[in-house]
Amino acid sequence: MNTQKLRALPYIVPLFPFDIIVAVCLLVASVVAAVYDRRFFRPRYPKTGGHRPPLQQKIATIQILNWNGRDLLRQCLPSVIDAVRLAGGGHKILLVDNGSTDGSVELTRQEFPQVHILELDRNYGFIGGNNRGVQTVDTEFVVFLNNDMIVDRNFLRPLIDGFTDDSVFAVTSQIFLEDSSRRREETGKTRAKFERGFFEVWHEEIDAKDEKRETIPVFWAGGGSCAFDRAKYLELGGLDELYAPFYLEDTDLSYRAWKRGWKCLLAPASRVIHKHRATSSRTFSHRFVDNTIRRNLYLFIWKNIRDVQMLLGHIINLPRIHGRSIMNNGGAFEVQAYMRAVVKMPMAILRRIGQTPQGCASDRDVIAGSRQ
């Protein structure tokens, strides 16, 4: 055993009792869910694929969530307004304001009067704010756009064009970073693999062949620059507060859509520029953001994975999963992320039991299908 592994042991050993608790909860919940499904004959949904109406009938609302982002709105809204004007067709822009106190609403009213505004009484976060906004939208599609996104003039039409049939749930944009000299952490071409009991998720490079394709299947449609079929979004219950305050809520939503038999796609011709973490970094440290992503990866597995081999692989490999993270991120980081997940595990288990069987696609089908 090398020195690194020895250094990880003092952190792994105290976590082992919690690993046992997690294992028991997951196994019991899986049995209860199976019995519940069989007892109440909950529906398994057939795949859909009906033809969509012609383009001119496809109307979208671009929903921009904001909290104290006055300066960002001034920088980014002009590009959105220009794109809507170019697209034509009666598309709308909706600012969902999470109780801002910096004059964001007043600025929007004065400088961008064509933007509709939904004023919320307080900050409901990314998940709560967006879910409340969708409830008020009256168009067939809703485009989520972060307030730190600058869009290409032609970004909207490829998104709407991507809804070619009723099997499409979401179409997302290709993402560029404002600083082109930085490593491109986001592209929109999202991928995932499940190895040694844990998920790894990432953005894959977009090559010349991808650029020529109208759409590309992706594991998840990014919640900051993505068009959703509003009816399907509401049918799935929207973004899940389990993942609050942020990250992986869009992955979870997309995963549930894939299991329902719906598709999540990337439209490379739709392009946006992201001021990466310009909003979250004003309130949360990079460490907290990364730690929350780690926490939410655990919750994602505990809530969603039904494949017996995958689930057992996760349970058996928990000490190794901790060990790898400790060697990469440090012991305190992994302990904090895991214990934050354990605290929220009852919520994940309740959702696991109550979640309608998706029927159309297995966990393995989703991972494979999103990489075609």
55-282: CATH homologous superfamily? Answer: Spore Coat Polysaccharide Biosynthesis Protein SpsA; Chain A (3.90.550.10)
Mean pLDDT confidence for 78-95: 95
Q: Are 226 and 235 in contact (CB under 8 A)?
A: no
Percent of the chain residues topping a pLDDT of 70: 90
What DSSP character marks residue 55?
A: G
Mean pLDDT confidence for 94-107: 98
Question: DSSP per residue over 182-246, as a string?
Answer: S-----S-EEEEEETTEEEEEEPPP-HHHHT-S-EE-S---TTEEEEEHHHHHHTTSS-GGGTTS
Q: Are 194 and 310 in contact (CB under 8 A)?
A: yes
Residue 279 — very low, low, confident or very high, per pLDDT cuts 50/70/90?
A: low
Mean confidence (pLDDT) of the chain:
91
* Residues shown for the chain: 372
Q: Are 267 and 161 in contact (CB under 8 A)?
A: yes
> Residue 6: CB partners within 8 Å, gap ≥ 6?
none
CA dist., res. 284 & res. 367, Å (int) = 31
What is the model's pLDDT at position 182?
78
**CB neighbour class for 317 (10 Å; exposed up to 12, middle 13-18, buried from 19):** middle
- What angle do helix axes 3-40 and 308-316 make, rounded to 10 degrees? 150
**By three-state DSSP, how is residue 151 classified?**
strand
Nearest to 4 by CA among 323, 332, 317, 319: 323
What DSSP character marks residue 140?
A: S
**CB neighbour class for 101 (10 Å; exposed up to 12, middle 13-18, buried from 19):** exposed
> Residue 68: CB partners within 8 Å, gap ≥ 6?
100, 101, 102, 104, 282
Beta pairing class for 141-146 and 60-66: parallel
**By three-state DSSP, how is residue 273 classified?**
strand
Amino acid at 275: K
What is the model's pLDDT at position 56?
45
Residue 340 — very low, low, confident or very high, per pLDDT cuts 50/70/90?
A: very high
Residue 112 Ramachandran class (φ > 0 left, ψ -120 to 50 alpha, else beta)? beta
CA dist., res. 270 & res. 152, Å (int) = 7
Least confident of 39-53, 113-127, 334-348, 355-369: 39-53
Mean pLDDT confidence for 175-192: 88
Is the model more confident about 82 or about 372? 82
Query: Residue 368 corresponds to which tokens in the numbers above?
Result: 């494979």
Mean pLDDT confidence for 245-267: 96
Domain map (residue ranges) of the chain = 3-42+289-369, 55-282
